[in-house]
Amino acid sequence: MTRLFACALLASAACSHAVRESPDRPPPTSSAEDARAVAAVQDEKAVELDHILSSLALREIAPDCPRACELAGQICELTGRICLLSSRHEGEADLATRCTAARQRCQRARERVAAVCSCSTP
């Protein structure tokens, strides 16, 4: 979805650029001038697209670390509850399986968060 949005935005940027340049620029008078004008327009467009891509990339990867840390904490706290229940019923396969799966979720959450955020209490 983000990719589609990015493409649409780039297309729209390109369109708006084309619309903007046509009334302001007089038609080139020679082939050299023509080439220079095309190069200038391309440079301008490249800078513009660079800005758009950078802002999209930033928006896409910027994590909400405080929230992520809190959620990882919640996931691991729930693991503690599940495994405590399991420990009260030794030999209960269903609870033991849930405890193992919960531990894996906690571990996964910690690793996911640690890769991009530094939580005070991971």
Partner 1 sequence: MTRAALLVLAGTILACGGAASQWVESAAAANAQADVLLRDGQLAAASKLLDGFVSRPVPGGVAGPDRRAVLADAYARLAVLAVQAHEPARALRYANAGLALGEPADVFTSALYTARGRAQEALGHDVEAAREYEAAQRIAEALLEQALGGGDR
List of residues contacting partner 1 (CB under 8 A): 1, 60-65, 67-68, 70-72, 74-75, 78-79, 81-82, 85-86, 88-89, 92, 94-95, 98-99, 101-102, 105, 108-109, 112-113, 116
CB-wise, 32 or 62, nearer to partner 1?
62
Least separation in angstroms between CB 113 and partner 1: 7
Residue 98 and residue 106: Cα distance in Å, rounded? 12
- Angle of the 93-116 helix axis to the 65-88 helix axis, nearest 10: 160
DSSP type of residue 90: T
Cite the DSSP H helix spans in the chain.
Answer: 2-24, 31-61, 65-88, 93-116
CB-wise, 28 or 80, nearer to partner 1?
80
CB-wise, 41 or 68, nearer to partner 1?
68
Least separation in angstroms between CB 85 and partner 1: 5
Residue 88 and residue 52: Cα distance in Å, rounded? 56
Per the document, the length of the chain is: 122
Least separation in angstroms between CB 83 and partner 1: 9
